[in-house]
Structure 1
């Protein structure tokens, strides 16, 4: 894809949450210097890209204001990009996306697919960088109530196609679009598992597919025994790596993860097996 390194396997996108309330790491990287160090460590562990976000999108999360999101994100993007790391910015705000690109971000990752902020699509079109369009049905406060499907895969694919068309109509180069099924966003465990099982149907949209399963609730549901509570997020990294290997084998363009090393190993093994077959 234009503007990105040429990688002959499923790429690995490492996550840096510059937030005090992430479901996965509880604010460990909220300080700018800690976030930058985390990004550098992820790259050293095998991340091909580092995804920097300043707003939690966990179920029920309240939004932060624009000024605070800018304060959290832009310095981290600037320092990581200056260090030569390809950076993605995870934001639903056009102003944050624009400032992040100016600071060196190479990818725009909008979990709303341009729906949360009407100015996002024009910014993405003007930036001429890859734009991740995720399947989204609403903000975190009430997205769980929207997890209603008769045909999970068919509906997600159709809604993603509709968003892709709208984004292209808004001026984004179709060759710069990446699609994301939005695991965990307005979805229950059975919906997420169905999407992982049918990545080929998402690939049929004709665009690279990003799979972001890392530490999510559906993995906790899978790992919990009968009558047991799901393990905490930090104990789901082996399960995450398993999904990463599946996604890589099914032709995903990239996987987005918090703990990079296990997934970096998993996608390389998947590539080696593919090369031997």
Structure 2
């Protein structure tokens, strides 16, 4: 039976001073970690779990089987890796703090705002402008609903939906992401002014997509979804959702690199709500800091999703702002770099207050004796 190892930060500190310097900066962001669980699995079962600090991590690594030693060292390095800024056309997006990605759906049937901006370009233009003015770093444009039970969209129809939206967002100088799983739509969108591909299938749905992204040299978001065909929500059975999603994202990361996609251009998304139960989603959000061990920037897309309604007396989609902000803050506390949201102004305000608290925390312990 093969062994596998995972490094999970479990002690989040307000700053290194509070731990007398015995803390590391997660992924070059504004979150610090002082304690870590080093987890050894064999045949899919946890066989050992050690607790470590930055000062004792080498001692714990010495106890690991030789076959996972290099992987443990790589994950430890990844947790401390500062990621370069994203270059999206003329825009540069720094990843040393949480950035907000605003959602623009040009679909008739998306779960939240389907139909609102599809047949009314002026409404879509106004919404995009409002998101940019509120502080969105990226506008994510999608022309196909991926909610459970949604019908597949023909590629030509998807292009007809997204290309006008890309045109008016591009005219505003926006950094644009195209939310699609079809290579033809990716190609047309990139030609029209999009600079980032956001593929909810993890570059699995369309066999041409991984080669296209490699050839175009654009950044890409690789999301986890269990379904391999039209229904991305299918086959959502997990032995342990945290480790299973971690392993699946690692496999897709490696496949993308092998296909020629530069590692610095890969962003990973655990796929909240895609083929996952409420419990699965909550477990993944609690475990988000561990995903920095994959060595890529992280995106969290939990805005207005069904789990919020399930925890809030089945609150309607339009009444899920509070839960969306709570999940966004959970992502910030985990060091997530990109937050994909519907409610941009409110999330930016929450981010700014959170950032102020983090900045203040760096001097809270300045008078401690050395």
Which residue does the alignment assign to 1:252? Answer: 336
**Partner-residue secondary structure (3-state), 2:249:** helix
Output the CA distance in 2 between the equivalents of 1:174 and 1:45: 31
In 2, the alpha carbon distance for the partners of 1:140 and 1:41 equals: 36
Check if 1:28 corresponds to 2:116: yes
SS, match of residue 222 in structure 2: strand
Shift, 1:250, TM fit: 1.2
In structure 2, the residue matched to 1:45 is 134
Specify the SS of the correspondent of 1:57: coil
Match of residue 24 from structure 2:
none
| Farther off after superposition, 130-139 or 3-12 | 3-12
The structure carrying a bigger helix percent of its residues is 1
1:159 to 248, 266, 282: 248
Q: 1:95-106 to 2 correspondence within 5 Å?
A: 95-106=184-195
TM-score (norm 2): 0.71
Name the residue aligned to 1:263: 347
Decide whether the 8 Å contact of 1:60 with 1:140 is kept in 2. Answer: no
The CA deviation string for residues 66-122 of structure 1, in whole angstroms up to 9 with x for no partner, is 110000001211221121111111000111111111111121100001000011111
Counterparts of 2:228 and 2:342, CA distance in 1: 22
Alpha carbons of 1:246 and 1:236: their partners in 2 closer, same or farther (altered >3 Å)? same
Structure 1 residue 108 corresponds to structure 2 residue 192: no
Question: Which secondary structure state, in structure 2, belongs to the residue aligned with residue 12 of structure 1?
Answer: strand
1:59/1:140 contact within 8 Å kept: no
Listed one character per residue, the Cα deviations across residues 122-178 of structure 1 (whole Å, up to 9, x for unaligned) are 111122121000002226864444221121110000000001111111111111000
Q: Is the 8 A contact 1:219 1:240 kept in 2?
A: yes
CA distance in 2, matches of 1:85, 1:251: 24
1:119 lines up with 2:208 in the alignment:
yes
Rounded to whole Å, the distance in 1 between the matches of 2:232 and 2:167 is: 32
Find 2:107's aligned residue among 19, 23, 40.
19
Structure number with the higher strand fraction is 2
Q: Structure 2 vs 1, CA of residues 276 and 93 (structure 1 numbering), >3 Å: closer, same or farther?
A: same
SS in 2 for 1:166: helix
Written as runs of structure 1 = structure 2, the 5 A alignment for 1:213-232 is: 213-224=302-313, 230-232=314-316
Q: TM-score, normalised by structure 1?
A: 0.94
User: Alpha carbons of 1:93 and 1:180: their partners in 2 closer, same or farther (altered >3 Å)?
Assistant: same
**Separation of aligned partners in 2, 1:42 and 1:124:** 27
Q: What residue is the counterpart of 1:184 in the other structure?
A: 273
Is the contact between residue 12 and residue 260 of structure 1 (CA under 8 Å) also seen in structure 2? Answer: yes
Rg (Cα) greater in structure: 2
2:272/2:281 contact within 8 Å kept = yes
Q: Does residue 1:70 correspond to 2:154, yes or no?
A: no
> Distance in 2 between the 1:132 and 1:232 partners?
28
Q: What secondary structure, in the 3-state scheme, does the structure 2 residue paired with 1:146 have?
A: coil
Shift of 1:29: 1.0
**How far off its partner does 1:35 sit?**
2.0
Runs of 4+ in structure 1 off by over 4 angstroms are: 139-145
Q: 1:139 to 1:25 in 2, by over 3 A?
A: farther
Q: Which residue of 1 aligns with 2:34?
A: none
Q: Hey, what's the Cα distance between the residues in 2 that align with 1:79 and 1:262?
A: 24
